Structure 1
Amino acid sequence: MREFQVDGRTISGYLAVPEQGSGPGVLVLHAWWGLTEPFRQVCDRLAEAGFVALAPDLYHGKTTASVEEAQALGAALDQDVERWRGDIMAAAGVLHQHTATHLVGGRGKLAFVGFSLGDAYALDMSVTLAEQIAAVVVFYGSYPGLDYRSAKAAYLLHFAEDDPFEPVESVAQMEQELQAAGKPVTVYTYPGTKHWFFEENRPEYDAEAARLAWERTIAFLHKQLD
């Protein structure tokens, strides 16, 4: 974990840089557990695939393995829109200023890879930071009702088949809204999976679905950012 100073704001996050020393920038937004090991590992795996990956700590040091506590932490952060938007904007600023990315001098765009809680924030920021975001990957989460018309990103959406946290109606509505806004969108639903199927430390983990989703994610990011 490192601290970064951007525009007078201090954020903490996990940064992974590829062996070759440079690559496109990707922001990883953690689920409601906080910035736990699975999401740091996502950064490491992105770096292995050639990306500079940064996961900001949106909970400012707090983590949990309890669904009830995670729900409370997530609900509290959802209410503090200025904080989480500010932290994510600052994290984007870190990547834009980092010599390892292809973004120094204002060239190039970023991608988001979000998980559950982080999905909603990634989708929101693809509109809020439209000119900076080329690609958005979400695992499990939807955000219907946003005005996606100003977004410039392509979208890759991974959903579980059996997911009480994400009604199929919500997923379908967001897909329709993205299509209506003319945005490139690809949706995959993984048979027999549940929410958190990608996270190895969860009982819902599905190794085959996680492998396939990751392969699709890496191919998508290279296509959109290289």
Structure 2
Amino acid sequence: MNPRQPDHIPQDAFDWYDEYAHGLMDRRTFMRKLAGLATLGFTMSALTSALLPNYALAEQVSFNDEDIKATYEEFDSPNGHGKGRGYLVVPSNVDTTLPVVLVIHENRGLNPYVKDVARRLAKKGFIAFAPDALFSLGGYPGNDDEGRAMQKTMDKAKIQNDFLAAAHFLKTHANSNGKLGAVGFCFGGYMVNYLAAVDANLLSAGVPFYGTPASKSLRKNIKAPLMIQLGELDKRVNDSWPEYEQDLKANNVEYIMHMYKGANHGFHNDSTARYDEKNAELAWQRTIAFFNKNLT
């Protein structure tokens, strides 16, 4: 059993949280709906502690780990917000070139979970870089509600250009072997699909976790191999998959899609009750193997 999840939380609660987290439901409505579950014996404190992130639970690799070195690095983004900044994690004592992986956060800025994902990649021998879309507004504010509200105010095209600039920054890193991968979650999954489509020569491999596709007009440009990671219960994102798959097939893109049984949107994020440890570990093992195959 997931230790972050009280027994028998109704699926409706996860669906409401997904709508709330993606701007389809306001906080007042979300809380009112949760309160309605009191008749089933749930307390508000139990539900909110399960559904809302607790990032103390998400650290798998310490920032003090001797095998890695983490710094914050800035990059130029002339077509975005002028300057960007991200969390760069490299294996310790790098004396050769290595594959590089861009790590793209959800729709709320560079939170601790995504930074931990970057550290996990560095532990596996990749140079990882996790940009913060909120840098021009002062950076991730320390909680997801504020971060989500901040990102919602920003120009989407400029954000996309910031991540495009970050990808070029990372691909040309002094220790890069020239092969760039990208992994992203939710909004970040969309960004992986976008980067694969906007520049056919940019990515050597992409792994979008529960992300919607790039606009249809761009999909014909995709050349990079893709590993699509989807949760079975994530109806909102899964509804976009059949058409996307048709386009990937039509353009002879090398891809594989994994559908994780019983998993919700966000199942890889180990800071909330949506976390599905078994499926998350399997998805991560597949991700690392996919990058090893295509980037080394």
Question: Which bracket does the TM-score occupy, shorter chain normalised?
Answer: 0.7 to 0.9
Q: Secondary structure at the match of 1:186?
A: strand
Could you say what the CA RMSD is over the residues aligned between the two structures, in angstroms?
2.0
Using the TM superposition, name which of 142-151 and 152-161 deviates more. 142-151
> What's the counterpart of residue 19 of structure 1?
92
Q: Tell me the matched-pair count.
A: 216
- Please list, as runs of the form range in 1=range in 2, the aligned pairs for 1:30-179 lying within 5 A after superposition: 30-60=105-135, 61-63=139-141, 64-66=143-145, 72-77=149-154, 79-81=155-157, 83-103=158-178, 109-143=179-213, 145-146=215-216, 147-166=218-237, 168-179=238-249
Distance 1:145 1:125 in 2: 11
Deviation of 1:92 (Å): 1.8
User: How far did 1:55 drift?
Assistant: 0.7
Which of 196, 202, 206 aligns to 2:272? It is 202
Structure richer in strand, relative to its length: 1
Whether the 8 Å contact between 2:77 and 2:84 is mirrored in structure 1 is no
- Structure with max Cα Rg: 2
Query: Runs of 5+ in structure 1 lacking a partner?
Result: 104-108
Instruction: For residues 201-220 of structure 1, give each alpha carbon's deviation from its aligned partner in whole angstroms, at most 9, with x where no partner exists.
Output: 01100100110000000000
Change (3 A) 1:143 1:101: same
Task: Give the TM-score normalised by structure 2.
Answer: 0.68
C-alpha displacement at 1:93, in angstroms?
2.7
Deviations 1:18-73 (A, max 9, x none): 2351411111110113211111111111111111110110122134333xx56544
Give the whole-Å Cα distance in 2 for the aligned partners of 1:111 and 1:96: 9
What is the CA distance between 1:10 and its match in structure 2? 2.3
Normalising to structure 1: TM-score of the pair? 0.87
Could you tell me which runs of 5 or more consecutive residues in structure 2 were left unpaired when the two chains were aligned.
1-70
**Identical columns (%):** 32
8 A Cα contact 2:133 2:151, kept in partner: no
Residues 145, 84 of structure 1: CA spacing in aligned structure 2 closer, same or farther, 3 A cutoff?
A: closer
* Paired AA for residue 3 in structure 1: E
